[in-house]
Amino acid sequence: MKTRFLLLLAGLFCLSFSVRAQSFVWPMAGKSAGENILYKPQSYIGDELNFSNLFIGGAEGDTVVSPVDGIITNVGLCFYPNLQNVFATNVKPDASFDETRAEQEDNPRMPRKYWCGALSIRLADGRTVHMDGLSGDVRFKTGQHVSAGEFLGVLGYSFKGIDKPSLNLSVSGPDTRPADPMGPFGLESTFVAPGALTRDDPMSPEKVREDLDVLKEAVCELYPSLEDRLPEAEFRAFIDSLKATVTAPVRPGNEARFLIRQALLRIPDSHINLYPDPLPSQDKVWYPQEYLTFCDDTLRVLLVGDEKYKDCLGKVVTRVNGIPAREFAAKAGRLVMGYDGRVESLIEEEGVFLGAYARQLHPDADAQTAHELTFADGSVVTIPFSTRGGYRANDGYRQIARWRQINPKLEMRDLNDSTALLSLNTFELLETQVDEVRRFLGDCRKDNLIIDLRNNAGGSEIVLQALLACLADSPMDRQKGGYCQVTGPGGFDSFKYSMNYSVSIMPFADYTEEEGRWITRDTLSTCSCVNPDPEHHYGGRVYILTNAYSFSASTVFAGAVVRNRRGVTVGRETGTTYHSLTAMKFADIRLPNTLHSFRLPLVKSVFDETVCERLPKGRGLLPDYPLPLTRQELTFGDDGETDVMLEYALSLIAEGKYLSADDPFAAFDKAPAKGPSKILVIALGALLLVLAAIVLTTRKKKD
């Protein structure tokens, strides 16, 4: 009897083990496990931490199969505006994913394209596999059994933040907490269980210095634009000097973050990003109770956090803690991130929101911290910091907030009898929107076109090329460059700290070494040549509005127009450098001790190598017709309704101001002078020999 019991117990153990150990089938039919992974757990999609999802790419319409044997527990349709939120609707009985999607409203905020079929399949061991991104004329019911490898539908789009077909696969345990989605496929996993991330608090100086070393080596090994920013030796020396300041234990939240921010500020790049702290900070955060704004060389109080300071609103500040206003603004401005190289406009425009940086000047703030404000009328007020964040809004703030939201949508309209307006708030457009813009440009018969790229953060190179082609009278090919550069083919040591690459990966195996540089030429992102669109062409004058928040593809778009003398720019310097940008691939580096992470660009796309007075090295695209930022622009003129920059562009049109009479690029675009022909060289050589013989003969006769 005892023997039978032990055998039964052993059998139950083996059965339990086999259930737990059920290996998964790769959900993309005909593909190997791990093929075409877009994002792993603990990687970032944009600025969002992808905590536990596995995003798998493919072609739209690829076959998707069940990765497991199990019971369907949910059939639905989902839309993810971000990774933390979802809008969902049930799929009606006997209805398909495609039929249910067709019922959803299609609008720019929630495009129908990103409404995706969703299935949840529960395994015998209590785990559940969730899949989003399904399409097709397939019908399922909850309670239905499916087998591993069984057809589930075809691939669609799973998330608005990924503009390509993808399947979002995640796993939850019997307790509904997130579980590993990679290990069951036999893949090396990046999944971190909830609560597994821990760190010392406070942290020893040695560990903080170690993190700064990891950051230093990652930048020097991976970042292809370092020498464009400063010499490597200078960057290393700066990090070492920063390490020398760490002599006592450091709080891993705000204090450590301030050090890391200081390090990244040495290599200004609009595509470098310091991600939010992955752990709830135990630090007590102290905030100034006044929010300052700097514009027109004037510092003012924009917001207050307590009613008792409301009399300070709008007042001009001449000193902060004894520091002259302009000097204080410059000090806070040195903490601005998000611009490239020697771009100046973003620091100027971010001065409008100086209050955010004034807080960062005090990473160790406490109950004793305060701002003593000296006003232009001679009065002095001391406002202590507080742990209560948030400010009371007023009309002045609402005006400035409205200015920051200018150009909020895609818009096409006539402004008057001679001028049309195209507002592009992004280059991440749906195909139907691209078609709409192309038709607008092709049908436009106005003499002048204003293209508003203010606050446009960039987007798709494909959209960029398609819209540029509508403006091209002839091939846009005057730019000298057209290549992408990396620091090497791969196998980087720093990838051991990466959340989206492993040390063994060779992401740039197709790059070749040329004179010490690893490059690839004539890629789409460099826009080395844009050919005209034969079906949709606008041939009138083009005026492009830009500001400090015209980033990435916006800079390339405006740059191609200016470089090819196809139009002019109005406003302010773009936030991304003209000559190159770093917007293709990124490594998400997590520092081992503080656990702070940052996005580091891996590819430098060179758009143009022409450096001249019109295109100075290290700067964004400078405007042909500059318009300095003024309080008039922030407050929308005297009437509160005037778009100052747009009105300025209209005044230029009315005055007939357009391209300069002299082409600033003419000297750079001349064909190189041809050398003497081979026949001429031979003839000259023969003539020299004859002359030499005559000279020798003459000398002999004299002797």
Higher-pLDDT residue of 515, 702: 515
7 pLDDT above the threshold of 60: no
pLDDT at 12: 37
51 pLDDT above the threshold of 50: yes
The dihedrals phi and psi of 609, each to the nearest 5 degrees, come to -105, 10
pLDDT at 686: 42
DSSP state of 307: G
Residue 278: pLDDT band (50, 70, 90) is: confident
Higher-pLDDT residue of 363, 64: 64
The dihedrals phi and psi of 328, each to the nearest 5 degrees, come to -65, -45
CATH fold, domain 21-185, is: Glucose Permease (Domain IIA) (2.70.70)
494 pLDDT above the threshold of 80: yes
Length of the chain: 703
pLDDT at 388: 79
Structure tokens at 57: 């790419």
pLDDT at 525: 63
Pairing of the two strands 370-375 and 380-384: antiparallel
Q: What is the distance between the alpha carbons of residues 91 and 49, in angstroms, rounded to a whole number?
A: 29
Residue 523: pLDDT band (50, 70, 90) is: low
CB 276 within 8 A of CB 227: no
Question: If DSSP codes are grouped into helix, strand and coil, which group holds residue 283?
Answer: coil
Higher-pLDDT residue of 298, 392: 298
590 pLDDT above the threshold of 90: yes
Question: If DSSP codes are grouped into helix, strand and coil, which group holds residue 304?
Answer: strand
In order of 146, 188, 547, 623, 649, the CA distances from 455 in angstroms are: 48, 40, 7, 15, 17
Residue 517: pLDDT band (50, 70, 90) is: very high
481 pLDDT above the threshold of 50: yes
Residue type at 433 in one-letter notation: Q
8 pLDDT above the threshold of 70: no
Q: What is the mean pLDDT of residues 246-264?
A: 94
Share of the chain above pLDDT 90, in %: 67
| Planar angle of CA 570, 575, 578, nearest 5 degrees | 80
pLDDT at 146: 95
Q: Give Cα 43 distance to the centre of its chain.
A: 14
Residue 400: pLDDT band (50, 70, 90) is: confident
Q: What is the distance between the alpha carbons of residues 500 and 488, in angstroms, rounded to a whole number?
A: 18
Q: Which CATH superfamily is domain 411-667 in?
A: 2-enoyl-CoA Hydratase; Chain A, domain 1 (3.90.226.10)
Reference 254, options 83, 385, 401; nearest CA is 385
Place of tokens 């004539």: 522
pLDDT at 94: 79
CB 204 within 8 A of CB 249: yes
In sequence order, the 6+-apart residues with CB closer than 8 A to the CB of 654 are none
Residue 502: pLDDT band (50, 70, 90) is: confident
* Strand (E) or helix (H) holding 649: helix 644-654
Pairing of the two strands 273-274 and 597-601: antiparallel
Residue type at 370 in one-letter notation: A
Q: What is the pLDDT of residues 80-128, one digit of tens each?
A: 988 877 888 888 777 899 998 888 887 777 888 999 999 999 999 999 9
In sequence order, the 6+-apart residues with CB closer than 8 A to the CB of 622 are 569, 573, 578, 614, 615, 616
Task: Provide the mean pLDDT of the chain.
Answer: 88
Instruction: Please provide the DSSP assignment of 67-124 as one string.
Output: SS-EEEEEEEEEEEEETTEEEEEEPPTT--HHHHHHTS---SSS-GGG-EEEEEEE-T
Highest mean pLDDT among 43-52, 355-364, 510-519, 521-530: 510-519
Q: What is the mean pLDDT of residues 29-35?
A: 95
Higher-pLDDT residue of 284, 27: 27
Where in 229-325 does DSSP place strands (E)?
273-274, 290-295, 298-304, 316-320, 323-324
pLDDT at 176: 78
Structure tokens at 169: 């696969």
646 pLDDT above the threshold of 80: yes
Q: Give Cα 677 distance to the centre of its chain.
A: 51
318 pLDDT above the threshold of 90: yes
Structure tokens at 494: 């720093």
Structure tokens at 80: 């993810």
Q: What is the distance between the alpha carbons of residues 216 and 237, in angstroms, rounded to a whole number?
A: 10
Residue 671: pLDDT band (50, 70, 90) is: low
CB 423 within 8 A of CB 649: no
201 pLDDT above the threshold of 70: yes
pLDDT at 691: 46
Residue 282: pLDDT band (50, 70, 90) is: low
Q: What is the mean pLDDT of residues 9-19?
A: 38
pLDDT at 1: 40
CB 597 within 8 A of CB 590: yes
pLDDT at 281: 67
Where in 442-574 does DSSP place strands (E)?
448-452, 483-486, 512-514, 517-521, 541-546, 568-571
pLDDT at 676: 41
pLDDT at 423: 97
Structure tokens at 393: 């809004």
Residue type at 16 in one-letter notation: S
Q: What is the pLDDT of residues 628-642, one digit of tens each?
A: 999 999 999 989 899
Alpha helical stretches, state H, 417-527 = 431-443, 461-471
Q: What is the mean pLDDT of residues 678-684?
A: 38
Q: What is the pLDDT of residues 549-588, one digit of tens each?
A: 999 999 999 999 999 999 999 999 999 999 999 988 899 8
pLDDT at 418: 97
Q: List the beta bridge partners of residue 452.
A: 423, 545
432 pLDDT above the threshold of 90: no
pLDDT at 522: 63
Residue type at 26 in one-letter notation: W
CB 240 within 8 A of CB 217: no
Q: What is the distance between the alpha carbons of residues 313 and 395, in angstroms, rounded to a whole number?
A: 10
Q: What is the mean pLDDT of residues 280-301?
A: 88
CATH code, 290-404: 2.30.42.10
Q: What is the mean pLDDT of residues 384-397?
A: 82
